[in-house]
Structure 1
């Protein structure tokens, strides 16, 4: 079972190209609208399918979900596209976690924004 990956592939419905300028914008919207738990599940799903399927199996997986995304049309193999999806989703999750940590640290220091690198307020950089 690959619930998060199936949900993402479902976002590439038959007429997605009429509603989105690029395949990347579909991915960005899915990621931005997903919970950290859904993104973590997507990561697990992708790792699982990449480790258990060859390129033919990946193509079949995308086809049976009735997804209308074609990694080949994007200039990628199915494996490369799924690796890219994983990279984008996990990158967004890392950024969100960093922002949450920065916000927490800022509130602990009287609302002064702090840099990610050290405990020097941003205004001193």
Structure 2
């Protein structure tokens, strides 16, 4: 009998309509809850994974924290944060198993504005939490 290799499932999205969802270019993906994820992976030796915030969730953290609580200790989160998110909130997310940050490059017209650069934000978040930018 062959042993089963433990799996770390990454990345995947949880789309839960109990939490805010925002259209992205007119698109909102189909619901995919933690319960559906568990059904789909039943029978597989999944021991953990990385839940990634989608653009339809914007900067809402509630769905991610709920999903991590339901999924358990082997799972971590990758989220999106506003450039001005206070350090205290970043630390709180890190304490709740959020381990990375995802950035979507801004259109050129926004990059030329006075908003902090993605590189600056990645450095700030990394120093504060130990996260890595994706």
State whether TM-score is above 0.5: no
Task: Name whichever structure is richer in strand by fraction.
Answer: 2
Task: Name whichever structure is richer in helix by fraction.
Answer: 1
Higher relative contact order (CA 8 A, sep 6+): 1
Q: If the length of structure 2 is used for normalisation, what is the TM-score?
A: 0.29
Q: If the length of structure 1 is used for normalisation, what is the TM-score?
A: 0.31
